[in-house]
Amino acid sequence: MGDEERVELLGLHELRDVVRRVVNEIHKVIVGMDDAIEALLIALLTEGHVLMEGVPGLAKTYLAKYFAKTLNLTFSRIQITSDLLPSDITGSLVYDKSTGQFVFRKGPIFANLVLADEINRGPPRTQSALLEVMQERQVTVEGVSYDTPRPFMVIATQNPIELEGTFPLPEAQLDRFLVRVIVTHPEREQEIEVLRMKQVSGEEPEIKPVVGEDVVLRGIAAISSIRVDDSIMEYIVDIVRKTRQMPEVYLGASTRAEVALMYAAKAKAAISGCSYVTPDHIKSVAPLVLNHRIILRSRRKGPFTSWSEFEVIQRAIEEVDVPI
């Protein structure tokens, strides 16, 4: 029997109330960023991972830190650098003089919520250390596997502008992220509100946990009760297959992307208080789930196109018939 079967499901009304309280508490320290907050909640409830991309100074790290605090989950920050070793993330065997044996000392990856800051600054060997743990939620050292705590979630950030000394994430690594969020500069009024907030609270504002690990696990279990009709599954497949057929696309989304899209849509339905997935839920989460899973010809040496990933995905959605 899996953990999901042992955990009591959270009712949809209760889940919606929890989400509302979490969002309200986060907004005590974070101005705006509604799309990023919702993406974090969707990933948390589906036990997925989030890639946040944006220039420095947009509160990506700040959001991850206070997201964990609001949920009362353990938090670990890993500053990714070019000299970081895989063992610096996963942990390693150390010699214990008192017992004369090697014991495993856990690395910072063993937390409920792990922030991998500037992930693209890590060399491929270090990035690969995250592959197993993001997919399997376990770390293997010297043939022995160690489970991460549940819930477990990786939030990675990267700066799309400063590319010197970085290592682009390979497709296999990108595919491990449920969603990619593009964080942009806030509106003028929001920036003014940030200054007001900083003047009152400074850099360490007060924030209270509104739930705990048990409630989060019950919320995760509740996602399994969300129904997905066959027509909705066909709609998901048709959208993803459309991305493979578009002339602007060099590499379309994979079958794993279809699974991720279904899971994300179930979470979107749940936090909306709906017991089943609708086409609107698919349309809402598809850009977040698919934007990092397709490669445009403009990113390669093929014909130039001005289409961005989001525009291509939106066009794919528009060209696929909506189930009745």
Query: Domain containing 207 — which CATH number?
Result: 3.40.50.300
What pLDDT, on the 0 to 100 scale, is given for residue 66?
92
What's the CATH number where 271 sits? 1.10.8.80
What pLDDT, on the 0 to 100 scale, is given for residue 2?
42
Domain shared by 69 and 168, yes or no: yes
Domain extent at residue 126: 3-218
Domain shared by 84 and 106, yes or no: yes
Q: Is residue 324 part of a domain?
A: no
Q: Is residue 261 part of a domain?
A: yes
Q: Of 200, 218, 236, which residue constitutes the final position of a domain?
A: 218
Q: Minimal CA–CA distance to 36: which of 20, 54, 21, 18?
A: 54
One DSSP character per residue, 99-161 reads TTEEEEEE-TT-SSEEEEETGGGS-HHHHHHHHHHHHHSEEEETTEEEEPPSS-EEEEEE-SS
What pLDDT, on the 0 to 100 scale, is given for residue 5?
45
Domain shared by 241 and 206, yes or no: no
Residue 88 DSSP code: H
Domain shared by 284 and 303, yes or no: yes
What pLDDT, on the 0 to 100 scale, is given for residue 302?
46
What pLDDT, on the 0 to 100 scale, is given for residue 92?
87
What pLDDT, on the 0 to 100 scale, is given for residue 303?
43
Tokens encoding 19: 């989400």
Buried b (16+ CB within 10 A) or exposed e, 272-302: eebeebbbebbbbbbbbbbbbbbbbbbeeee
The C-alpha atoms of residue 275 and residue 270 are separated, in whole angstroms, by: 6
Domain shared by 197 and 244, yes or no: no
What pLDDT, on the 0 to 100 scale, is given for residue 166?
75
Domain shared by 20 and 96, yes or no: yes
Is residue 112 a contact partner of residue 213, using CB atoms and an 8 Å limit? yes
What pLDDT, on the 0 to 100 scale, is given for residue 300?
54
Helix (H) or strand (E) holding 91: strand 91-96
Radius of gyration over alpha carbons of the chain, in Å? 20
Number of domains in the chain: 2
Q: Is residue 283 part of a domain?
A: yes
Is residue 313 a contact partner of residue 284, using CB atoms and an 8 Å limit? no
Is residue 269 a contact partner of residue 226, using CB atoms and an 8 Å limit? yes
Is residue 2 a contact partner of residue 34, using CB atoms and an 8 Å limit? no
Tokens encoding 291: 């934007």
Low-confidence ranges of the chain (pLDDT < 50): 1-5, 301-305
What pLDDT, on the 0 to 100 scale, is given for residue 320?
95
What pLDDT, on the 0 to 100 scale, is given for residue 278?
96
The C-alpha atoms of residue 3 and residue 182 are separated, in whole angstroms, by: 33
Q: Is residue 264 part of a domain?
A: yes
What pLDDT, on the 0 to 100 scale, is given for residue 41?
96
